[in-house]
Amino acid sequence: MPGVVVVGAQWGDEGKGKVVDLFTERAKLVVRYAGGPNAGHTLVVGDEKIIVRLVPSGILRTGTRCVLAQGMVIDPDRLLGEIDELISKKKLDHDSLASRLTVSDRAHAILPYHVAIDSLREKGDAAIGTTKRGVGPCYEDKAARRGIPLGAFRDLARTEKLVAAAIEAWSPVAKALGGELPSPRDVMDLVRRVRDRILPLLAETSAVVNDALVKNEDVLFEGAQGTLLDLDHGTYPFVTSSTPTSGGACTGSGVGPTRIDRVIGLVKAYTTRVGGGPFPTELTDAVGDRLRNAGQEFGSVTGRPRRTGWLDLPGLRYAVRVNGIDGVALTKLDVMSGLDEIMVCVGYETPAGRSREFPIDDLATAKPIYETMRGWKESIASAKKLADLPDAARAYLDRIEKEIGAPLDVVSVGSRRDETIVLRHPFHGGS
């Protein structure tokens, strides 16, 4: 079973790092196919922590090659910063770098004017709570056909023209927002500074990924963000500017749908969201605070407290549908320990009546319908199989599995690698 996509089923931050780490034990390639430095994983290396935003967490496994595919937008300066940190912490070395990390020459470069525009917009009325890393404006340039693929850095004269044209196009926008853009000269200084180290990492990565699949090697496509942040399928306009859903694995890495064998949906045992936008099951009370603190729900890119809420079963059914989810990795079940009761959203009250559907276009007005389930008090971190869990926790899992129509493959009961119940490993022949 070589081609496996791991995709967030909610608004991102479902605990991808741990699940990807578990699955990459055997994977030859880990491919990031969308987004940019708006994502963030905390890698724990001994007593030290490294936060990576661009490099997949598979980089910690020496037998794994990481690919940043062409659906991504890449801030070259940040990428080099991450590489340097990984090298200084002895997780990468200069000799093996080019064989461990490959970057698409068609991934677009996030340059300082993208970051400037993103930040200026976030100060104004149109703010949606972005991560201010320049992701949206970079994808806008790509769609407007004035973007700069990293491969363009091979030709400095061409890059200089593209930079000048892009800055000219963004200037009126910056002026209207009351700000300024960096000069073309400053941007070109940056390009010259990073170019010699970026160019050796570049390749036509679609060939790399397809070659591995043809050889029947295990390839993990690592989604970033989550289904409800997808540009097409999310809570527009409160979305990111890329395609985190599973179809993005194909378009974003140049692989046909026939090559994907399994789609795993990551589901956090409750719901979180960072940034603005509707969130019907949000908790603004002490229970929400409790979930935030127990689950350490603070953004790894911006440090912002995440909004927290109950699980939304119609939302998960929607995610199963738009991604074709075959199996679920349920994370952070341990965070729910200690609650007297747990509410689950089972449907919505809409102007058209009650519905089991997720009202994607009416989320701001639809009212969630809840059912109350029993909570459990005991710690569950030592559970090695489902039978070790308290009855109430098992009932919660059974309910999720039954309602969303996809089986549980993995249940995470603690933050450590061994605090995981694996029911079906996608790269171990199904068990």
Report phi then psi at 245, rounded to 5: -65, 170
By CB under 6 A, is residue 137 in contact with ligand IMP? Answer: no
306: amino acid identity, one letter: R
Exposure b/e, 281-310, CB count within 10 A at least 16 = b? bbbeeebbebbbebbebebbbbeeebbbbb
205-224: contacts with ligand IMP (CB under 6 A): 224
Calculate the dihedral angle through the C-alpha atoms of 373, 374, 377, 380, rounding to the nearest 10 degrees.
-60
Nearer to ligand IMP, 131 or 412 (CB): 131
Alpha-carbon gap, residue 194 to 368, rounded angstroms: 50
Alpha-carbon gap, residue 13 to 30, rounded angstroms: 18
Which of 13, 14, 1 is closest to 329 using CA atoms?
14
Task: Tell me which residue has tokens 């969201």.
Answer: 273
Shortest spacing between CB 139 and ligand IMP, in angstroms: 8
**Hey, which residues does 37 pair with through a beta bridge?**
none
Q: Reduced to 3 states, what is the DSSP secondary structure of residue 182?
A: coil
387: amino acid identity, one letter: A
80-119: contacts with ligand IMP (CB under 6 A): none
Among 9, 30, 109, 135, binds ligand IMP (CB under 6 A): 135
Report phi then psi at 29, rounded to 5: -130, 140
Shortest spacing between CB 20 and ligand IMP, in angstroms: 13
Among 81, 129, 179, 390, binds ligand IMP (CB under 6 A): 129
Nearer to ligand IMP, 132 or 262 (CB): 132
Size of the site for ligand IMP (CB under 6 A): 20
Q: 425 an active-site residue? A: no
Nearer to ligand IMP, 118 or 218 (CB): 118
Shortest spacing between CB 224 and ligand IMP, in angstroms: 6
Shortest spacing between CB 304 and ligand IMP, in angstroms: 8
269-288: contacts with ligand IMP (CB under 6 A): 274-275
Tell me which stretch binds ligand IMP (CB under 6 A): 9-17, 70-78, 84-92, 357-365: 9-17
Alpha-carbon gap, residue 225 to 11, rounded angstroms: 7
Which of 40, 1, 2, 5 is closest to 252 using CA atoms?
5
Alpha-carbon gap, residue 333 to 330, rounded angstroms: 7
* x/- track of binding to ligand IMP for residues 20-49 (CB under 6 A): ------------------xx----------
Pair 276, 238: CB distance under 8 Å: yes
Tell me which stretch binds ligand IMP (CB under 6 A): 21-29, 131-139, 257-265, 316-324: 131-139
By CB under 6 A, is residue 131 in contact with ligand IMP? Answer: yes
Tell me which stretch binds ligand IMP (CB under 6 A): 7-15, 245-253, 254-262, 398-406: 7-15
By CB under 6 A, is residue 10 in contact with ligand IMP? Answer: no
By CB under 6 A, is residue 229 in contact with ligand IMP? Answer: yes
Tokens of 349: 């009250």
Q: Is 411 left (phi over 0), alpha (psi -120 to 50) or beta?
A: beta
Alpha-carbon gap, residue 227 to 242, rounded angstroms: 11
Q: 108 an active-site residue? A: no
By CB under 6 A, is residue 136 in contact with ligand IMP? Answer: yes
H or E element at residue 113:
helix 112-122
Shortest spacing between CB 110 and ligand IMP, in angstroms: 11
Among 24, 57, 159, 225, binds ligand IMP (CB under 6 A): 225
By CB under 6 A, is residue 13 in contact with ligand IMP? Answer: yes
Helices (H), 177-330: 184-198, 205-214, 247-253, 286-294, 313-323
Shortest spacing between CB 393 and ligand IMP, in angstroms: 26
By CB under 6 A, is residue 74 in contact with ligand IMP? Answer: no
Catalytic annotation, residues: 13, 41
Question: By the criterion CB under 6 A, which residues form the site for ligand IMP?
Answer: 11-13, 38-39, 128-131, 133, 135-136, 224-225, 229, 238, 240-241, 274-275
